[in-house]
């Protein structure tokens, strides 16, 4: 059902593109604005400084993108994406112990951000009633009374009229500032500061030289971790990360010494045998940040924040693109149910909050295990953490528990699934467990 109206999306990010895919069936015109010249072929661009970093396309994200853009998964496979079963094919070391493996049917894709974004952008550009306007900076939403009027694209008088504006411009969003300037209340904000530093580099290695993916998650007291994922064209992407400001080195000798402390033969082998294909790229991610728009009782009609503009997660958990896809799909479903009435922001934020909550609990719960991480710990956090420590140890001997852990981290199940009676029984009765990390 289309409304005969115009929707504008700020940012041709993954979040913005997927939002446009959700909107095109409900509006006569959907305009996506981006300040960059968008590349015709896969490649980095200025507006996505993290584009060269490792990105994980979780199973739930892949499924959701396939709902928004049918056939996308098959297209990505044809382009070289590497599928792998997250329980069977990943060597997953958590807190110094390797999790048990078994087939699960939960499939992730190894694929570079540039190739994934290229195919999503190409598919969205081809949708009817969707226009991608390149080299068009958006200064933020424009208002008329108590509703949005469009997007300021140049001077204050230069406005693209729109009935709905969706801000998908990421953590640099200007919408909260604009809301404050127009007298709207500030949303509550929750932050967890893990001060992550990560360095990514790509390598080519001999066929079969390493598993499709290798993940090393450190326990409290050890701030270093690493991930290897097999991407397209026989390339392996390595990211080394450090929490609480611990920065992986950029030189070869320092990188090898840093990796040696992870206790991962796969990563050491990749560094010893692999051919570097690019220079290492470092990024810093100070904190996860969530804006509780769902708690506001006064909002302008016709303005929505989505993706990282609404909530940004520690990238080590690989949840950002999946949550953005789920938010886009939920918005399309809302528009199909009852259109874009003035209460759309309240309804949309309420639904988005339910999507964000599970991912937020998973990511921040992992970070808050480290005593030095800044952030409010919920009541009973210590008791819950002791149970989860036993669950992780039990998962080294019980692949069913590995599956439960990865169903939650892949956003197929809520964190409450970790405490279900059947799961708790397996955790408490498991035998032959390794000692505490």
Residues 124 and 27 in one domain: yes
SS3 content of the chain, % helix, strand, coil (to 5): 35, 25, 40
- Indicate which CATH number applies to the domain containing 231: 3.30.9.90
Kindly state the tokens that stand for 64.
């959701």
Q: What is the pLDDT of residue 206?
A: 73
Radius of gyration of the chain measured on its C-alpha atoms: 22
Long-range contacts of 100-103 (CB under 8 A, 24+ apart): 100/395, 100/396, 100/397, 100/398, 100/399, 100/401, 100/402, 101/399, 101/402, 102/399, 102/400, 102/402, 102/403
Residues 212 and 261 in one domain: yes
Among candidate residues 397, 426, 425, the one with its CA nearest the CA of residue 98: 397
Sheet holding 82-85, edge to edge: 56-57, 107-110, 82-85
Residues 205 and 172 in one domain: no
Please report, for residues 56, 96, 263, 388, 430, the alpha-carbon distance to residue 433 in angstroms, rounded to integers and kept in the order given: 30, 13, 20, 13, 7
Domain that holds residue 249: 196-285
Whether 152 is covered by a domain: the verdict is yes
Whether 15 is covered by a domain: the verdict is yes
* 398 Cβ neighbours under 8 A, 6+ residues apart: 100, 426, 430
Please report, for residues 10, 165, 269, 304, 339, the alpha-carbon distance to residue 141 in angstroms, rounded to integers and kept in the order given: 9, 7, 51, 10, 21
Q: What is the pLDDT of residue 55?
A: 84
Residues 265 and 209 in one domain: yes
Kindly state the tokens that stand for 23.
């909107």
Residues 13 and 158 in one domain: yes
* 195 Cβ neighbours under 8 A, 6+ residues apart: 243, 244, 245, 284, 285, 286, 287
Residues 186 and 124 in one domain: yes
Q: What is the pLDDT of residue 36?
A: 93
Overall number of domains in the chain:
3
Last residue of a domain, one of 225, 260, 285: 285
Residue 19 backbone phi and psi in degrees, to 5? -65, -45
Kindly state the tokens that stand for 106.
């939960």
Last residue of a domain, one of 266, 285, 304: 285
Kindly state the tokens that stand for 436.
């505490």
Whether 104 is covered by a domain: the verdict is no
State the pTM of this model.
0.95
Distance (Å, whole) CA 378 – CA 384: 10
Classify residue 380 as exposed, middle or buried by CB count within 10 Å of its CB (0-12, 13-18, 19+): exposed
Whether 182 is covered by a domain: the verdict is yes
Mean pLDDT split into 10-residue runs, the chain, 437 residues: 82 97 97 94 83 86 97 96 94 92 94 95 97 94 94 83 96 94 95 96 80 89 93 93 94 95 91 93 95 96 97 93 97 92 95 97 95 94 95 96 96 97 96 77
Whether 276 is covered by a domain: the verdict is yes
Residues 264 and 411 in one domain: no
Residues 220 and 264 in one domain: yes
3 state DSSP class of 434:
coil
Element containing residue 424 per DSSP (H, E) = helix 421-429
Length of the chain: 437
Termini Cα distance of the chain: 55
Q: Is the dihedral of CA 57, 60, 65, 66 positive or negative?
A: positive
Residues 169 and 118 in one domain: yes
Kindly state the tokens that stand for 426.
């397996």
Last residue of a domain, one of 285, 306, 330: 285
Residues 140 and 161 in one domain: yes
Residues 156 and 170 in one domain: yes
Residues 174 and 311 in one domain: yes
Alpha helices in 241-380 (DSSP H): 252-260, 265-273, 320-338, 344-368
Whether 129 is covered by a domain: the verdict is yes
125 neighbors 26 (Cβ within 8 angstroms): no
Residue 263 backbone phi and psi in degrees, to 5? 70, 30
* 414 Cβ neighbours under 8 A, 6+ residues apart: 358, 408
Whether 39 is covered by a domain: the verdict is yes
Residue 391 backbone phi and psi in degrees, to 5? -60, -45
Classify residue 370 as exposed, middle or buried by CB count within 10 Å of its CB (0-12, 13-18, 19+): middle
Distance (Å, whole) CA 264 – CA 422: 32
320-338 and 344-368 helices, crossing angle to 10°? 160
Whether 84 is covered by a domain: the verdict is no
Kindly state the tokens that stand for 62.
């892949």
């Amino acid at each position: 059902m289309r409304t005969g109206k115009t929707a504008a999306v700020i940012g041709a990010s993954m979040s913005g593109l997927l939002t446009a895919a959700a909107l095109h069936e409900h509006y006569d015109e959907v305009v996506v604005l981006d300040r960059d010249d968008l590349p015709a072929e896969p490649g980095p661009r200025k507006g996505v400084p993290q584009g060269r970093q490792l990105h994980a396309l979780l199973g739930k994200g892949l499924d959701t993108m396939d709902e928004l853009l049918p056939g996308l998964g098959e297209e990505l496979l044809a382009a070289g994406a590497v599928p792998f079963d997250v329980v069977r094919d990943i060597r997953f070391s958590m807190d110094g112990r390797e999790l048990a493996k078994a087939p699960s049917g939960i499939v992730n894709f190894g694929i570079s951000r540039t190739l994934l974004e290229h195919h999503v952008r190409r598919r969205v550009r081809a949708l009817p009633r969707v226009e991608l306007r390149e080299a068009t900076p958006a200064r933020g939403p424009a208002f008329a009374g108590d509703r949005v009027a469009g997007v300021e694209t140049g001077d204050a008088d230069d406005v693209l009229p729109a009935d709905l504006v969706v801000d998908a411009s990421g953590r640099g969003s200007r919408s909260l500032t604009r809301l404050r300037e127009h007298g709207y209340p500030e949303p509550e904000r929750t932050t967890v500061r893990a001060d992550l530093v990560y360095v990514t580099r790509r390598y080519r290695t001999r066929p079969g030289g390493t598993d499709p993916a290798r993940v090393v998650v450190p326990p409290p007291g050890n701030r270093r971790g690493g991930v290897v994922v097999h991407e397209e064209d026989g390339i392996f992407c390595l990211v080394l990360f450090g929490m609480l400001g611990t920065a992986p080195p950029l030189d070869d000798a320092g990188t090898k010494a840093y990796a040696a402390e992870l206790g991962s033969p796969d990563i050491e082998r990749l560094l010893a045998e692999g051919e570097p294909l690019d220079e290492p790229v470092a990024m810093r991610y100070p904190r996860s940040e969530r804006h509780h728009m769902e708690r506001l009782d006064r909002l302008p009609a016709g303005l929505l924040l989505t993706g990282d503009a609404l909530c940004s997660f520690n990238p080590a958990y690989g949840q950002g693109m999946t949550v953005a896809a789920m938010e886009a799909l939920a918005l399309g479903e809302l528009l199909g149910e009852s259109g874009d009435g003035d209460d759309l922001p309240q309804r949309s934020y309420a639904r988005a909050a339910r999507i964000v909550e599970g991912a937020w609990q998973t990511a921040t719960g992992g970070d808050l295990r480290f005593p030095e991480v800044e952030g409010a710990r919920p009541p009973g956090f210590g008791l819950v953490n002791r149970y989860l420590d036993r669950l992780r140890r039990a998962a080294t001997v019980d692949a069913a528990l590995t599956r439960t852990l990865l169903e939650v981290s892949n956003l197929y199940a809520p964190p409450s699934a970790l405490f279900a009676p059947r799961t708790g029984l397996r955790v408490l009765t498991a035998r032959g467990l390794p000692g505490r990390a």
